[in-house]
Amino acid sequence: MKSDMKRMLADIEMEVAYTRSLIGKSKLDPRVMAAIGKVSREAFVPSDLKPFAYDNGPLPIGNGQTISQPYIVALMTDLLQPEPDHIVLEVGTGSGYQAAVLSQLVKKVFTIERIPALGDAAAVHLRSLGYSNIEYRIGNGYDGWPEHAPYDAIIVTAAASHIPPALMAQLKTGGRLVIPVGLPDMPQELMLLEKDDQGRIYTRNIIGVAFVPLQDEDNASGNNGMSR
């Protein structure tokens, strides 16, 4: 493993330990850390920013969007409790980095991006890197991706003003949804939502975060996310 990757993993572990009282654990799932260690973050950042690819911070990826901080990617992935037979939905493909990390841990990743330039580039790029268990769609992730629902886990990588009802509907019983929630220019909270076997929803605030906003919340199709 390259030394800059080792440094990034050590930085993530340090921040996890530092935030343990908020996140409720002092170490993340070793499988999640191994997956992070296998994905070259360098391959997902613009060429002029490659020297910073392994810093534990967010970076711009064009179109006003960002690739998230590695610690946050690791934490959100851990909160999903991914398993090898899981089908996962990601809203906000962006650079494709988070999808690549998830694809190491689960059976299939479905990822939606609203900006065609980003989503199409991520699809071409991830395929060229050999990631074959990811499917792509350009569209409004507020509506989820009903055709492949329900999902074992759903991750939203842009800040919503509320939990999108379609995403709650498209979550399996026993499933987990991780989403940053907050109004534009206001503090956001990373939220974990769990749906129990009776379909009851439990939510927990994990930690303060700063994500780009989820767009088009008021421009959604208005269905309950389960129509076909």
Least distance in angstroms from the C-beta of 136 to ligand SAH? 11
126 binds ligand SAH (CB under 6 A): no
178 versus 212: smaller Cβ distance to ligand SAH: 212
The answer to whether 68 is a known catalytic residue is: yes
141 versus 182: smaller Cβ distance to ligand SAH: 141
Amino acid sitting at position 54: Y
Q: Which residues neighbour 223 within 8 Å (Cβ) at sequence distance 6 or greater?
A: 143, 146, 166
Three-state DSSP at 94 gives: coil
142 binds ligand SAH (CB under 6 A): yes
In contact, 121 and 145? CB cutoff 8 Å = no
Burial readout 19-48 (b: 16 or more C-beta within 10 A, e: otherwise): beeebeeeebbeebbebbbebebbbbbeee
Candidates 6-14, 111-119, 129-137, 191-199 — which segment interacts with ligand SAH by CB under 6 A?
A: 111-119
192 versus 211: smaller Cβ distance to ligand SAH: 211
Footprint on residues 40-69 left by ligand SAH (CB under 6 A): 61, 65-68
Assigned token pair, 218? 């008021």
Q: What whole-number distance in Å separates Cα of residue 113 and Cα of residue 92? A: 5
115 binds ligand SAH (CB under 6 A): yes
**Residues engaged in binding ligand SAH (CB under 6 A):** 61, 65-68, 91-92, 94-95, 97-98, 112-115, 118, 140-142, 157-158, 212, 214-216
